[in-house]
Amino acid sequence: MMVPQAPGARLRSLGSRATGRGAPWALVLLILLAFPALAEVRLSGSIEQGALVLGQALPGTRLRLDGVPVMVGPDGRFALGFGREANDKAELLIEEPGQSAQTMTLHVTPRSWDIQRIEGLPEKQVTPDPKTLERIKRENEWIADARAHSKPEALFQTGFQRPAEGVVSGVFGSQRILNGQARSPHSGVDFAAPVGAPVLAAADGVVVMAEGDLFYTGQTVMIDHGLGVNTVYAHMSGISVKLGQRVIKGQAIGKVGASGRATGPHLHWGLSVGAVKLDPLSALKFSQ
């Protein structure tokens, strides 16, 4: 749990000093006008690159993170995502019902990422052919579309769990640079597990993608957990859920495999808030 520095702390210390000197009420009033009541926003999780952070605001509060609207549930719950490249500071604009807007500055802890440079590869291995590029583009559009429609409520509030047994064989954010060309950073975490091992829903949600053959990720399931939070399960050898199906945390959704572009059987697990890809392991703090 990490609570950012509250702007209201300054108001309280200034106020008590002013009254102690013989009630210069005009000064107190001026300070009150300059520093409105502290917004009732609580955050939990570590504010760092790649992390999911959950929050609670007053119902009806409107939020923007660095100008991007944040979905807030009817109960005031919300989720923030700090991407791999997040700046060291982020501004959370808070508009509580009937109050003027306030800004909370969030300090984002940087992380270091595993970068591998590989030179001298044949060019064919580096760049996919135009037909394949076209297919990848089309599939990326489906994926973006599936992510774009999220339920306006915190289906994730019963917490998150690991979706598979097995050691972590690939970490979030690692990147390979092939012949000087930077590939996309690894967008999730890999668990090494045998073909056929169960894949479980990491949290309650609704299946928004159940595809049998995507170029990179093969048999792929995507689950919307509400308020923009989304998980993806890739390279499976079987899918046991259907598009639109409600699932609960720990429910079997398929089997581990090596479909799509995979060098061996494993589960690739991804997490995002909106379009921001996050380290899925950051969600396991919220295991309840």
Compute φ and ψ for 273, nearest 5 degrees.
Answer: -120, 115
CA distance 226 to 88: 27
**In the structure encoding, which two tokens stand for residue 60, read together?**
């009806």
**In the structure encoding, which two tokens stand for residue 59, read together?**
């119902």
Cβ-contact 108, 87 below 8 angstroms: yes
| 268 makes contact with Zn ion (CB under 5 A) | yes
Q: How far is the CB of 266 from Zn ion (least distance, A)?
A: 7
Q: How far is the CB of 170 from Zn ion (least distance, A)?
A: 5
Q: Which is nearer to Zn ion, 77 or 147 (CB)?
A: 147
Q: How far is the CB of 67 from Zn ion (least distance, A)?
A: 30
**Nearest residue to Zn ion, scored by beta-carbon proximity:** 268
Q: Which is nearer to Zn ion, 249 or 268 (CB)?
A: 268
Question: 99: which DSSP letter?
Answer: S
Question: 216: which DSSP letter?
Answer: T
| 279 makes contact with Zn ion (CB under 5 A) | no
Q: Which is nearer to Zn ion, 73 or 270 (CB)?
A: 270
Stretch that binds Zn ion, among 29-37, 64-72, 117-125, 183-191 (CB under 5 A): 183-191
| 249 makes contact with Zn ion (CB under 5 A) | no
Q: Which is nearer to Zn ion, 170 or 250 (CB)?
A: 170
Q: Which are the contacts of 115, defined by CB distance < 8 A and separation ≥ 6?
A: 174, 175, 176, 177
Stretch that binds Zn ion, among 28-36, 164-172, 222-230, 279-287 (CB under 5 A): 164-172
**In the structure encoding, which two tokens stand for residue 130, read together?**
């135009």
Stretch that binds Zn ion, among 11-19, 147-155, 165-173, 273-281 (CB under 5 A): 165-173
| 190 makes contact with Zn ion (CB under 5 A) | yes
Cβ-contact 141, 263 below 8 angstroms: no
Q: Which is nearer to Zn ion, 55 or 173 (CB)?
A: 173
CA distance 171 to 114: 8
Cβ-contact 79, 228 below 8 angstroms: yes
CA distance 179 to 189: 25
Q: How far is the CB of 100 from Zn ion (least distance, A)?
A: 45
Binding site for Zn ion (CB under 5 A): 170, 190, 268
